[in-house]
Chain A
């Protein structure tokens, strides 16, 4: 493989820079009912919705960044501005030195993007056909394209169903094809909007491994949005959490894990009913729900090591089924608000971003 400059050079340059980026939408408001419809038709009433309210940060080349937040936090809006789909209402951003909404076509050659909920593959045709089309669209020389395609097919292990119409693929298979398609033209930056949404645990892990492999081997900068805490832990070194269109936290995953991801949720199905007032015999474990055959525990792993908790569970209860999950992003955000700003986070954060005054101020109320 030929090395591109970014693979050989020292990777301290910023690939993506956002400066006070903003986006407002006008939402039409309408009263319910026929009368409301008629009123809205003649004198529409608009409400300004601030989807992104001044976001600033930068991403270095070769970095893998997770951009997380609950639904409607402004994740997709931000990623759409960075890929040139939306014009911002204010502020500025550059990707690889280009302003996305101005130099959209030039930038398109250098970035790849996958929107989890919108397929770029032609639904009724095999993925191979879309690959051929993309080769034309990105003006790849035939020999080079074939070589690249074969490598992607190999790496993503999609050879088996490359000739099957996309509509017949499983979601996981389709997502592998989507990501492979977005990498055909060797982009320097890869934007992934909810790449693991709707996938089962195995497929999720496969996708994560592939993204990490591409980042390591080709030095692709990866910018991904997610509301799955698992994506963050297993994929990224750095996390930015946004809520209500503002950056809430910008930190390393280690810090996040140490401070906020130490809670795990254990869902148990039991072979015998549990008492309603059941209490777990260990500090750091709270009973979220106990009813009939179901028991839900929240474990603070900093206080109660998972190993001990599981030992006690197996000893004291008749377990039929067990599932250990991360808490949803919403609850992490809630924890952040509740606990305030730990001092060590500021040092950990990227120098130009991190905690912003307004983030704590506005969002709390």
Chain B
């Protein structure tokens, strides 16, 4: 069991190393992250100053920007596997991997995560830097809020030590909740995209389908705009779809953590992940059968 898992961590490690070796390219690629966050800062600074409001859809300016840093980091760090899988199905790489001693899907997932890990931290650093320099870093704010809560609980006097502990605990909760939901989000992203890529067994060119899925995910998942700013009707549609669990859910938790939200997001992610895993398994099995029929 452990040895079987070992080969996938091996794949994860080698993709990680490979991406670290091309760290210059990965870093250059984050120029776009910089531009995107910069443009968002300009757009939302203008929007907040024009409306004169402190909070829009329950978000302050700082929260909106950091929310967008998170959503962009999640989407930009996820490797675009649909085209890769599509090419491997058509080029026969998948067929050749069938007699190898590993699962094709497991292999792809390990290499997906290896690439995503490097990109995630660079994108977060670049986006976070732009956001922090223009609207301030949120950690201070979170800590203050925690201290305020702590001092209310313990009374006004001599609460510095307790507040420090409570603040740290809060920060820990935010970070671990974010990390867990982001991992789940990426698994959801991977399984659905992988299933789409495998459609190459049946469809000559699924570019249009990929684009529709991806762009729907962006818009309805809250990549560019928090769901709370959507008109009510569209918001209701977005809430029943899986997309918000990939983008909006983890991002909102990172900037506005609430324990109740965390469990709701996690439950939603787990449910949808169960669905996508089943779909992926069915699609993969059906596809592999076609390889056998065609004689590889």
List A residues at the B interface (Cβ < 8 Å).
34, 37-38, 41
Contacts and interface: CB of A to CB of B under 8 A. Distances in A.
A37 B22 CA distance: 9
8 contacts: A34-B20, A34-B21, A34-B23, A37-B21, A37-B23, A37-B24, A38-B24, A41-B24
Contacts of A38: 24
Interface in B3-36: 20-21, 23-24
Q: Is the interface of B mostly helix, strand, loop or mixed?
A: helix
Given A34-B23, A37-B21, A37-B24, 5 more contacts: A34-B20, A34-B21, A37-B23, A38-B24, A41-B24
Contact size range, B: under 10
Nearest to A40: B24
Contacts of B24: 37-38, 41
Nearest to B22: A37
Contacts of A37: 21, 23-24
A35 to B, nearest CB: 11
A38 B20 CA distance: 12
Nearest to B24: A41
A34 B27 CA distance: 14
Nearest to A41: B24
Contacts of B20: 34
A213 to B, nearest CB: 40
A38 B23 CA distance: 9
A37 B23 CA distance: 9
A41 B24 CA distance: 8
B183 to A, nearest CB: 27
A34 to B, nearest CB: 7
B233 to A, nearest CB: 46
A33 to B, nearest CB: 9
Contacts of B23: 34, 37
A40 to B, nearest CB: 9
B47 to A, nearest CB: 38
A41 B22 CA distance: 12
Nearest to B20: A34
A247 to B, nearest CB: 41
Considering residues A34, A38, A41, which has the most beta carbons from chain B within 10 angstroms of its beta carbon? A34
Interface string B179-196: 000000000000000000
Contacts of A41: 24
Contacts of B21: 34, 37
Nearest to B27: A41
Nearest to B17: A34
Nearest to A37: B24
Contacts of A34: 20-21, 23
A37 B19 CA distance: 13
B266 to A, nearest CB: 37
A75 to B, nearest CB: 33
A27 B126 CA distance: 32
A34 B25 CA distance: 13
Interface in B33-72: none
A37 B25 CA distance: 11
A114 to B, nearest CB: 29
A34 B23 CA distance: 9
B31 to A, nearest CB: 15
Please provide the 7 A-B residue pairs with the shortest distance between their CB atoms, ordered closest to farther.
Answer: A41-B24, A37-B24, A34-B21, A34-B20, A34-B23, A37-B21, A37-B23
Interface string B85-124: 0000000000000000000000000000000000000000
A319 B21 CA distance: 53
A27 B23 CA distance: 22
B285 to A, nearest CB: 32
A34 B118 CA distance: 15
Interface in B207-257: none
B106 to A, nearest CB: 28
A304 B23 CA distance: 62
Nearest to A33: B21
B17 to A, nearest CB: 10
A275 to B, nearest CB: 43
A107 to B, nearest CB: 39
B295 to A, nearest CB: 20
A41 B26 CA distance: 14
B243 to A, nearest CB: 37
A38 B24 CA distance: 8
A243 B179 CA distance: 61
B40 to A, nearest CB: 29
A281 B24 CA distance: 64
B18 to A, nearest CB: 12
A290 B21 CA distance: 46
A18 B177 CA distance: 72
A37 B20 CA distance: 11
B103 to A, nearest CB: 31
A63 B24 CA distance: 51
B30 to A, nearest CB: 15
A197 to B, nearest CB: 25
B117 to A, nearest CB: 17
A34 B24 CA distance: 10
A103 B21 CA distance: 44
A192 to B, nearest CB: 33
A41 B23 CA distance: 11
A100 B20 CA distance: 44
A115 B33 CA distance: 41
B19 to A, nearest CB: 12
